[in-house]
Amino acid sequence: MKKSMEKATFAAGCFWGVEAEFRKIKGVKNVVVGYTGGTCENPTYEQVCTHATGHAEAVEIEFDPEIVSYDELLNVFWNIHNPTTFNRQGPDIGSQYRSAIFYHAPEQERIAKVSKKQLDKSGKFSKSVVTEITAVSKFYRAEEYHQRYLEKHGLAQCHL
């Protein structure tokens, strides 16, 4: 019997590049950019940029676990950004650019914590991994002009 689709939510800096990377993965059926982890309802991009809402720029991924595992998605996540910089990715600075894993189920939480611990112990980075691991809160889809942004405008626009 075919297993149903699952969701994963990650924040790894500017969501444009993160979305583009996850769209390349076989088994990923859809990726939406948006905001999560904050305190106000229906935030706009402009509000999130003020750092007052607490939201992170994030991607919500719908994937087929029979084709790609959550652990494989985590490996992509760890490799497309620097998880040792607090509230920063490249030239992008602010809490909306934080490194975060928003888990959808206890099993995702367990896998994410093990994965983070292994990465920390691996010596890949000279500094500790600061990625937060927290339960997913309401995900707000970003404005339409942010969806598939790099497909529409080209890769030169992103700082991945």
Q: Which of 59, 23, 39, 24 is nearest to 142 (CA)?
A: 59
CA–CA separation, 118 and 109 (whole Å): 14
Indicate if 40 belongs to the active site. no
The active-site residue, picked from 14, 40, 49, 158, is 14
In this structure, are residues 56 and 66 in contact, taking their beta carbons and an 8 Å threshold? Answer: no
- State the Cα–Cα distance between residues 23 and 26, nearest whole angstrom: 8
For residues 14 and 98, give the distance between their C-alpha atoms in angstroms, rounded to a whole number: 9
Q: At what angle do helices 106-122 and 70-79 cross, to 10 degrees?
A: 40
Active centre residues (catalytic): 14
